[in-house]
């Protein structure tokens, strides 16, 4: 699939893809400010992670449009990157425990560093397989890894969405031109209740329930 020009900064960090386990791109630390819904958190980013130059526009839409997280319980940021979603959730719900998972080791290190710098000790940063299989979530928030391809994306979603507590919601942001509507149809076909919660700047926020 050819990648539209404006998306290349999100997939390349001087070589390789943002979802590699150990990015080959030479480290070039920089920082962005997570400024949304009253937050103003400086976050460190680096080459080889998703949207290293600026807070991703889809992530911004998700954080602005999805409902605030439940005050307590286990929350999941699926595909945390350098941590903007996980840290926003952890700031808004200091009594909740936020699981920030990713396959990219550099992204995990950045999320750890960013949580520590922000003084947020309610964030657990780890690889997906390190989360106990019987853990259930009160909410899931994700800017999911569309670029891994449809089959891999579906596998990832089917491994996490069933772990929502009954009645609780997952909030996914997807660009319309990257298949938000077909993803919504596929999720509905898998038996989930799917609702388009918001549509803004070419992004859709989907609410998904079991
Ligand atoms: C679109 S990026 C979003 C990153 C970050 N949440 C943000 O908003 O900037 C998706 C993330 O999912 C991660 N990812 C890819 N495959 C994954 C998998 N199987 N399990 C968990 N995360 C994965 C990628 O490494 C990437 O960091």
Handedness of CA 17, 20, 23, 29 (dihedral sign): positive
What CATH number is associated with residue 63? 3.40.50.150
Residues across the chain: 210
Using the mean position of ligand 1's atoms as its centre, give its distance from the Cα of residue 51 in Å: 11
pLDDT tens by residue, the chain, 210 residues:
333 444 444 544 445 788 889 898 899 999 999 999 999 999 999 999 999 999 999 999 999 999 999 999 999 999 999 999 999 999 999 999 999 999 999 999 999 999 999 999 999 999 999 999 999 999 999 999 999 999 999 999 999 999 999 889 999 999 998 889 999 999 999 999 999 999 999 999 999 999
How high is the pLDDT of residue 4?
41
State the Cα–Cα distance between residues 166 and 67, nearest whole angstrom.
17
Q: Ligand 1: which residue has its CA nearest to atom 27?
A: 81
Residues lining ligand 1, CB < 6 A? 18-19, 50-51, 56, 59, 78-81, 84-85, 101-104, 107, 128, 143, 145, 148, 156
With residue 152 as reference, give the H or E element that holds it.
helix 150-160
Tell me the CA distances in angstroms from 89 to 19, 20, 23, 173, 199, one per residue in order.
22, 25, 26, 15, 21
Using the mean position of ligand 1's atoms as its centre, give its distance from the Cα of residue 147 in Å: 9
How high is the pLDDT of residue 12?
42
Question: Total domain count for the chain?
Answer: 1
Using the mean position of ligand 1's atoms as its centre, give its distance from the Cα of residue 137 in Å: 18
List the one residue out of 107, 63, 58 whose CA is nearest residue 89: 63
To test the pocket of ligand 1, the residue of 30, 78, 79 to mutate (highest count of ligand atoms within 8 Å of its CB) is 79
State the Cα–Cα distance between residues 159 and 128, nearest whole angstrom.
10
Could you tell me the residue range of the domain that residue 182 belongs to?
Answer: 5-209
């Amino acid at each position: 699939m050819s990648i539209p020009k404006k998306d290349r900064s999100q997939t390349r960090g001087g070589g390789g893809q943002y979802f590699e386990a150990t990015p080959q791109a030479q480290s070039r630390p920089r920082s962005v400010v997570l400024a949304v819904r009253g937050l103003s958190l400086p976050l460190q980013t680096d080459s080889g992670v998703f949207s290293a130059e600026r807070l991703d526009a889809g992530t911004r839409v998700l954080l602005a449009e999805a409902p605030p997280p439940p005050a307590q319980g286990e929350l999941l940021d699926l595909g945390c990157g350098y941590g903007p979603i996980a840290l926003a959730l952890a700031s808004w719900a200091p009594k909740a425990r936020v699981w920030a998972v990713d396959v990219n080791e550099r992204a995990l290190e950045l999320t750890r560093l960013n949580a520590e710098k922000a003084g947020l000790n309610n964030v657990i940063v780890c690889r997906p397989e390190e989360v106990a299989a019987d853990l259930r979530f009160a909410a899931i928030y994700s800017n999911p890894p569309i670029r891994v391809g449809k089959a891999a994306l579906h596998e990832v979603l089917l491994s996490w969405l069933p772990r929502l507590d009954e009645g609780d919601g997952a909030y996914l942001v997807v660009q319309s031109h990257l298949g938000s509507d077909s993803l919504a149809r596929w999720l509905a076909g898998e038996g989930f209740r799917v609702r388009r919660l918001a549509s803004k700047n070419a992004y859709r926020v989907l609410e998904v329930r079991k």
